[in-house]
Amino acid sequence: MQEIEAKEILEQLKLHVENGIYTQDMATTIRVHNEIDAYNLAINALEKQVPLKVHYPINESGKTNYKAPYCFKCGTHLHSVLYCPHCGQKIDWE
């Protein structure tokens, strides 16, 4: 999936969840909540497809340690991987 595509779909899904339908009818309310859960799952999965920049720790003297890249989402130490092995986040190394 293209990064642009993923971002556009993400925006649409988030908008749909934010504009969730509220109703007095219990069956419809339950159905809508289940749909919103499904949307949130999809949003979560898609967000991992949009690359997040790799992060590097900064020590007390303010120097960046480029030898210890880590995933910004979960903090896992990374070794030139396209996806974080722990949370599945796509990593941007540039």
Q: Which residues bind Zn ion (CB under 5 A)?
A: 71, 73-74, 76, 84, 86-87, 89
* Strand, coil or helix: 55: strand
* Minimum gap (Å) between residue 53 Cβ and Zn ion: 13
- Residue 39 dihedral angles phi and psi, to the nearest 5°: -60, -45
Q: Which is nearer to Zn ion, 20 or 85 (CB)?
A: 85
Closest distance of CB 3 from Zn ion, Å: 18
Helix, strand, coil distribution of the chain in percent, nearest 5: 40, 10, 50
Say which DSSP state 52 is in: E
Q: How far is the CB of 25 from Zn ion (least distance, A)?
A: 40
Measured from the CB atom, is 34 or 44 closer to Zn ion?
44
